[in-house]
Amino acid sequence: MKKETLSQHRAIFKAGDTAGNIFLLVRGSVGIFLPNNETKTPDFVIGANEIFGEMGVIDDELRMADARCMEECDIISVTKDEFNAYLDESNIFVRGVVGILSERLRKMQKSSR
């Protein structure tokens, strides 16, 4: 687990990147920009105490969007290996639910394009 402060406009990840981390936003706001969005207005805004970047780590797929700091942010990141270790310690039912939810969300996002 790693905590860092990122400057405004800093890219956290880009669509097509390999997903190596899950993030918890402690302070600030992060904009999520879908691939067809070429504006400065994000499609979604992540606020303090929200998690993002989880889908690619859970289902081992590439990032589906860009994530950028809308202002200075404090972020805690958990690597894929750390997350998998936490998941391995959990109940098999919890692991199954996490996988299914991620798969369903990804299908919904792909079908809405």
What are the structural domain ranges in the chain? 2-111
Which residue type does 92 have?
A: I
Predicted pLDDT at 89? 82
- What distance in Å separates the CA atoms of residue 69 and residue 93, rounded to the nearest whole number? 34
CATH placement of domain 2-111: 2.60.120.10
Predicted pLDDT at 92? 81
Predicted pLDDT at 83? 87
Q: SS3 breakdown of the chain: % helix, strand, coil, rounded to 5? A: 30, 30, 35
Please state, as a whole number, how many other Cβ atoms lie within 10 Å of the Cβ of residue 88: 8
Q: Which residues of the chain have pLDDT under 50?
A: none
* Model-wide pTM > 0.85: no
- What distance in Å separates the CA atoms of residue 77 and residue 108, rounded to the nearest whole number? 26
Predicted pLDDT at 16? 95
Residue with tokens 């809405």: 112
